[in-house]
Amino acid sequence: MSGTGEMAVPAGPGGEVGTGAASGSSPQPAGDREYLMTTYPDPPVTFVQGVGAYLIDVSGKRYLDFFSGIAVTSLGHAHPAVTEAISAQAARLSHVSNLFGNIQAAPLAAKIDALIGDGTPAGGRVFFANSGAEANECAIKLARKWGGGERWRIVSTTGSFHGRTLATWSATGKSEALEAFRPLPAGFEHIPYDDLEALKAAVPAGDVAGFIVEPIQGENGIVEPSPGYLAAARAVCAEAGVLFISDEVQSGLGRTGRWFGFQRSDLAPDIVTMAKALGNGFPIGACWARAEVADRFVPGDHGSTYGGQPLACAAAMATLKAMEEMNAPEKAASAGARLAEALEGVPGVVRVRGKGLLLGVVLDGDYSATAASLALARGLVVNPVRPETIRLSPPLVITDGEIDSGCEILAAAIGQARSDADGA
Ligand SMILES: Cc1ncc(COP(=O)(O)O)c(C=O)c1O
């Protein structure tokens, strides 16, 4: 990897600063994984430290991070303000349960409400959870409570991803992946993404409580709907008396160039869910709903031992303040434009899709996994989200120099993977 970037990167655990040279493809030690459930494949690399846009593995090798742990560490690794907030709060009070008050949760809820209103209060209320799936569980339960027993079905889209709990997995639009877990909770229907006619046909049934949709489908390979679809879908839902739920777990909090993906369209959702970047790596999720909907929940309807605890809320408040200070949406928009432009002309790249710093690099063949592993060997972390698509979700603090170095590595990796695929 050329250059050291603008951020000082500490030495690896062995004392040396990694060179970024290829370290071969054999997996690195990650402790005795025999005791871990096999829900993920064996990792190719084991990280021990992160600073800004860089990660360092057990051997001391340094990597530029264009993935941010699936769009989570938007402020980069070990952001000083977030680290300081977590340490200070941990030293004072981590947890009390929601049976008592704490002074962190309410201001954070107000901050989220103002971001949803793009600077002015949006008039909603927030439930705090610990993950994206939990935020969506809350949305689904709230929609059913709001539906009062008459409206209970949830419509979602094919190709969507909403989480891995039984309800959010049922909402997720990957029918083949659902098979092993039957019987699934009843009341989930999938319609094609970006298909307004399908939505119009699905919602007038009278028993639909909510339509949950990602403004950009992240796990499906950074797929955007046609311009106008989301606003029209929102209008269809309003007409049919169905709640419009914007799943912003991946697209939210500045990454797409606006605070939330739905703000790119002229619409106001009934419910907005978020997680990932909210704590910059500290686990926290949130479900926002406009007050009239939120108020259907009464004590006992929903809850979480950890949700809204002081430690997580302190991490999230520090994250949002730092994002506001750097004007994260604007930074994502300009950095994303530079990144997309640099990759557009690369041989093998058919197009770059997405918004801001949530991008899908579409290749001219199914070799994204090879390209990603060659990039990793050269010191760049990217994600082969689909066989033909590489997902890029760098931290929003990425510098121009880091973008240029990463693009150089990625272009070389794509070139090599492409010729390997041609020769195969
Ligand atoms: C759009 C979307 N919703 C929900 C989730 C689930 O979030 P979590 O893994 O935090 O449960 C994800 C995770 O990738 C996501 O991308």
Tens digits of residue pLDDT in 280-304:
999 999 999 999 999 999 999 999 9
370 and 308 in a common domain: no
**Six-digit token string for 89:** 């709060």
Whose C-alpha lies nearest to ligand 1, atom 16? 250
pLDDT tens-digit series, residues 212-250 = 999 999 999 999 999 999 999 999 999 999 999 999 999
Task: Give a yes or no: residue 183 inside a domain.
Answer: yes
52 and 86 in a common domain: no
CA distances from 142 to 112, 191, 212, 327 (A): 18, 21, 12, 32
Give 261's DSSP letter. Answer: G
CA nearest to 99, candidates 303, 282, 286: 303
CA distances from 303 to 20, 56, 130, 179, 188 (A): 45, 38, 11, 29, 23
What is the average pLDDT across 334-342?
98
pLDDT tens-digit series, residues 405-415 = 999 999 999 99
Catalytic residue status for 247:
yes
Task: Give a yes or no: residue 9 inside a domain.
Answer: no
Catalytic residue status for 276:
yes
Ligand 1 pocket, residue 217 CB under 6 Å: no
* Atom from ligand 1 closest to the CA of residue 248: 1
Distance 36 CA to ligand 1 centre (A): 21
Distance 247 CA to ligand 1 centre (A): 9
**Does position 22 have pLDDT exceeding 50, yes or no?**
no
51 touches 10 (CB < 8 A): yes
Task: Give a yes or no: residue 17 inside a domain.
Answer: no
Distance 384 CA to ligand 1 centre (A): 17
Please, which residues bridge with residue 85 across strands? none
How far is 217 from 248, CA to CA, in rounded Å? 10
Ligand 1 pocket, residue 56 CB under 6 Å: no
Give me the percent of the chain exceeding a pLDDT of 90. Answer: 89
Ligand 1 pocket, residue 418 CB under 6 Å: no
How far is 115 from 262, CA to CA, in rounded Å? 12
**Does position 45 have pLDDT exceeding 50, yes or no?**
yes
pLDDT at 423: 83
Whose C-alpha lies nearest to ligand 1, atom 4? 162
Ligand 1 pocket, residue 249 CB under 6 Å: yes
* Atom from ligand 1 closest to the CA of residue 283: 10
Range of 390's domain? Answer: 33-65+329-423
Contacts of 289 (CB under 8 A, 6+ apart): 124, 125, 127, 139, 142, 270, 271, 272
Residue type, 171: A
How far is 166 from 219, CA to CA, in rounded Å? 18
Ligand 1 pocket, residue 255 CB under 6 Å: no
Ligand 1 pocket, residue 131 CB under 6 Å: yes
354 touches 343 (CB < 8 A): no
Ligand 1 pocket, residue 132 CB under 6 Å: yes
What is the average pLDDT across 149-155?
98
302 touches 138 (CB < 8 A): yes
Give the E-state strand segments of 20-152 in sequence order: 47-51, 54-57, 62-65, 124-129
**Six-digit token string for 405:** 């170095």
Ligand 1 pocket, residue 219 CB under 6 Å: yes
Distance 201 CA to ligand 1 centre (A): 27
**Does position 204 have pLDDT exceeding 70, yes or no?**
yes
271 and 357 in a common domain: no
**Does position 21 have pLDDT exceeding 70, yes or no?**
no
How far is 50 from 47, CA to CA, in rounded Å? 8
272 and 357 in a common domain: no
pLDDT at 26: 65
What is the average pLDDT across 348-356?
98
* Atom from ligand 1 closest to the CA of residue 218: 16
147 and 222 in a common domain: yes
380 and 285 in a common domain: no
Q: How far apart are the first and last CA of the chain?
A: 28
Q: Please identify which of the residues 161, 211, 262, 297 carries the catalytic annotation.
A: 161
**Does position 4 have pLDDT exceeding 50, yes or no?**
no
182 and 116 in a common domain: yes
**Does position 206 have pLDDT exceeding 60, yes or no?**
yes
pLDDT at 205: 84
CA nearest to 405, candidates 330, 338, 327: 338
**Does position 53 have pLDDT exceeding 60, yes or no?**
yes
Distance 133 CA to ligand 1 centre (A): 6
The enclosing domain of 338 has a CATH number of 3.90.1150.10
Q: Please identify which of the residues 61, 276, 331, 355 carries the catalytic annotation.
A: 276
Task: Give a yes or no: residue 57 inside a domain.
Answer: yes
Crossing angle between the packed helical segments 310-325 and 105-116, to the nearest 10 degrees: 40
Ligand 1 pocket, residue 211 CB under 6 Å: no
Task: Give a yes or no: residue 240 inside a domain.
Answer: yes
Mutation to probe ligand 1, out of 136, 247, 250 (largest number of atoms < 8 A from CB): 250
pLDDT at 177: 85
279 and 389 in a common domain: no
What is the average pLDDT across 7-12?
42
Number of domains in the chain: 2
pLDDT at 355: 98
Q: Residue 42's CB: how many other CB atoms inside 10 A?
A: 10
341 and 318 in a common domain: no
How far is 315 from 326, CA to CA, in rounded Å? 17
Q: Which stretch of DSSP H or E encloses residue 290?
A: strand 285-290
How far is 336 from 137, CA to CA, in rounded Å? 31
Contacts of 355 (CB under 8 A, 6+ apart): 216, 224, 256, 257, 261, 264, 333, 336
How far is 2 from 202, CA to CA, in rounded Å? 53
pLDDT at 301: 98
How far is 319 from 229, CA to CA, in rounded Å? 31
pLDDT tens-digit series, residues 67-94 = 999 999 999 999 999 999 999 999 999 9
DSSP SS3 for 230: helix
Instruction: Report which of residues 95 and 25 the model is more confident about.
Output: 95
Q: Please list, residue by residue across 254-268, b when 16 or more beta carbons sit within 10 angstroms of its beta carbon and e when fewer do.
A: bbbbbbbbbbbbebb
